Amino acid sequence: MSDTAARLARQRDADSATASAEVSIGQIFLEFLIIGAISFGGVVPYLRGSLVTKQHWIDDKEFVQMLSISQSLPGLNATNMAILVGDKLRGALGSIAAIIGICLPGGVLMYTVGMFYRIHGDHDFVTAALKGVAAAAVGLILFTVMGLSKKSLAGNFDFVFMALTVVAVNRLHQSVPRTLVVVGLLAILFHRPNKKQKENATL
């Protein structure tokens, strides 16, 4: 009986291996196109729902790891995730299919908005509505910033580095790359590996 169970387990492993090998470029494109079309109000939950829950292309742990890489590197979470998942499934072509898919619907929509806004942007009711929208967007970014702070800031010194960055850009009018390099290096040095981690790494 344990023999049957082992065989079943092996069979299941083989199935899941072939399942992830069988994802075609077209499937990747289509799935990301759907995410790109329905992800109103932020891409991340839709990415998880589709890639982890619905398609089982990646598991939850991988998802979190990929998201943390996406967050650390330049680029938007949405497009970086498309690159990472596409690469995992089908290499470079998978990445290209995924990023085009996720950008296409929003791109077409914004292109249309751009034409409309150029013609009707100075109407009183449009200006009035946009004033409300812009104020809401400020609240939205603040919410994102607070969420990220809660999740990834460790200790009071991180708040000092955050404040330094804001002051450098907004008050001292330093360029973003210079701020990133100077404050970034300081923060990385502050978080340098301690002895124990170094020993663990060499073991």
Is 61 one of the binding residues for another protein (CB under 8 A)? Answer: no
Is 26 one of the binding residues for another protein (CB under 8 A)? Answer: no
Is 71 one of the binding residues for another protein (CB under 8 A)? Answer: yes
The footprint of another protein on this chain (CB under 8 A) covers a number of residues equal to 100
SS3 99: helix
Is 164 one of the binding residues for another protein (CB under 8 A)? Answer: yes
Give me the amino acid identity at 10.
R
| Residue from the set 6, 14, 73, 120 that interacts with another protein by CB under 8 A | 73
Give me the amino acid identity at 57.
W
Stretch binding another protein (CB under 8 A), from 9-17, 22-30, 38-46, 51-59: 38-46
Question: What are the residues whose beta carbons fall under 8 Å from the beta carbon of 29, sequence distance 6 or more?
Answer: 97, 98, 100, 101
As a dihedral over the C-alpha atoms of residue 177, residue 178, residue 183, residue 185, rounded to 10 degrees, the angle is: 80
Closest CA to 62 of 47, 72, 74: 47
* Per-residue x/- track, 106-145, another protein (CB under 8 A): xx-xxx-xxx-xx--x--xx-xxxxxxxxxxxxxxxxxxx
Stretch binding another protein (CB under 8 A), from 2-10, 20-28, 39-47, 52-60: 39-47
